[in-house]
Amino acid sequence: MPGGAPPEKGNGAMFSGRYRIFFILGGLLGALSSCLPLEAARIVSLSPAVTELIFHLGRGQDLVGRSSACDYPPAARSLPVAGDFARPSTEKLLALRPDVVITNELIVPAAANALRQYGIKVLFLPCRSIAEYRATCRAVGKVTGAEDEAKTEIERIDGFVRACAKWPRLDRNILCLIWFQPVLAAGENTLIRELIRLVGADCCGVQGATGYFKPSAEFLLRCGADTLLVFEDPALFRKHPVLRHLDAVKKGRVVYFPHGKLLERPGPRFTEGVLKLREALEK
């Protein structure tokens, strides 16, 4: 237990003289430790990426709950489910008695307030870029007490990024569509676009639209992308009344990437995803 000097043996002069400063420091540290989630014992992760990261850092045993979308590694599947991705069941969460709940987004912000009332810390770790992934690593490392492992992971990522920069550029102007009913495209500030650039391809301009957005038909027909990157069966996209007319679709330059999760999920395996994407685009 940090803080607090042992009382002087013998007489009861515990609070006198120079031991007083240690006692005060100890008290302060004790108070601080109740604010910062240092080495929390019980964590619920509502983000599949964070779940993977926690296992990757070797702290899987700290997890007491997951979201229904957390499916990797296999060991995670045996954890109790506390709700859907970004949509936890407050009751199930409370039953798990976590100290910290970690999530990328929360559909119902009121749920966070409700949890805080019960003394549960809620950590928002958005991860829409590699820089945010680094920050997530650091935060998760601190929560689980795995700071060294987190640092190693960050170094691994940095090394990977440096290696990618050495690859020859791919002559592709890509628009990534993540769903088809409705058509949802990846705009700025999404991890996918950064990863596409990392792989050495260009991203088609989106006129400033951020996040995953529904593109207008006009935009789709004029966006000038020569390749569509899709995560669903391309046949579905070819039947779409608007997409059907895109040059990329007509010329068959639709790249079907079945490992979409590796790119959408900002976890440790995104490097694997980037490698697979490079393979797919080189074909």
Partner 1 sequence: MRKISCRLLTAAALLAAAILLLASARGGLEGPGADVLLRFRLFRSLLGFLVGGSLALSGAIFQAVFRNPLADPYILGISSGAAAGAAAVFVFVPAGLLFLCVPAGALAGALATLGAVLVISGGGRSADRLLLSGVVTGIVVSSLLIYLISLSDSSQLAGVTWWILGDLQGATPALLAALAGLAAGILAAVQFFSNELNALAVGDEAAMTRGVAVRKARLFFVIAASLLASSCVAAAGIIGFAGLVVPHIVRLLAGSDHRRILPAVFLSGGCFLQLCDLTAVALSGAKETPVGVVCSCAGGILFLVLLAKRRRQA
State the nearest-atom distance from the C-beta of 58 to partner 1, in Å: 31
Does residue number 251 form part of the binding site for partner 1 (CB under 8 A)? Answer: no
Please provide residue 140's backbone torsions phi and psi, each rounded to the nearest 5 degrees: -65, -40
Burial class of residue 113, CB neighbours in 10 A (0-12, 13-18, 19+): exposed
Piece in contact with partner 1 (CB under 8 A), picked from 21-29, 41-49, 143-151, 179-187 = 179-187
208 interacts with partner 1 by CB under 8 A: yes
CB atoms inside a 10 Å sphere around CB 108: 12
**65 vs 71, 78, 81, 147, CA distance in Å?**
12, 9, 6, 22
CB of 46 to partner 1, least distance (A): 13
Which is closer to partner 1, CB of 140 or CB of 186? 186
**Which CB atom, from 160 or from 219, has the smaller least distance to partner 1?**
219
Q: How far is the CB of 226 from partner 1 (least distance, A)?
A: 12
Stretch of residues binding partner 1 (CB under 8 A), selected from 70-78, 84-92, 163-171, 272-280: 84-92
Taking the CA atoms of residue 207, residue 213, residue 123 and residue 194 in that order, the dihedral angle to the nearest 10 degrees is -50
CA distances from 28 to 17, 23, 35, 112, 120 (A): 18, 9, 11, 27, 21
**Contact region with partner 1 (CB under 8 A), list: 29-37, 109-117, 133-141, 211-219:** 211-219
Q: Is residue 182 within the footprint of partner 1 (CB under 8 A)?
A: yes
- Judged by CB, which is closer to partner 1: 6, or 182? 182
Per CB under 8 A, 75 contacts partner 1: no
- Burial track 115-146 (b if 16+ CB lie within 10 A, e otherwise): beeeebbbbebebbbbebbbebbbbbbbbbbb
Q: Write out the H or E segment, with its range, that includes residue 100.
A: strand 100-103
Longest Cα–Cα distance of the chain, Å, equals 90
Where in 184-203 is the site for partner 1 (CB under 8 A)?
Answer: 184-185, 187
In the set 214, 251, 272, 282, which binds partner 1 (CB under 8 A)? 214
Which H or E element spans position 79?
none
Tokens of 67: 């979201």
Binding flag, residue 19, partner 1 (CB under 8 A):
no
The rounded Cα 86 to chain-centroid distance in angstroms is 12
Told to check if 29 binds partner 1 by CB under 8 A, we report: no
Candidates 57-65, 82-90, 143-151, 158-166; binding stretch for partner 1 (CB under 8 A): 82-90
Nearer to partner 1, 20 or 214 (CB): 214
* Per rule CB under 8 A, count of chain residues that contact partner 1: 34
Site for partner 1 in 217-236 (CB under 8 A): 217-219, 221-223, 232-233, 235-236
**What is the enclosing helix (H) or strand (E) of 266?**
none
Q: Which residue has the tokens 């910290």?
A: 100
Footprint of partner 1 (CB under 8 A): 84-86, 179-182, 184-185, 187, 206-209, 213-219, 221-223, 232-233, 235-236, 239-242, 245, 247
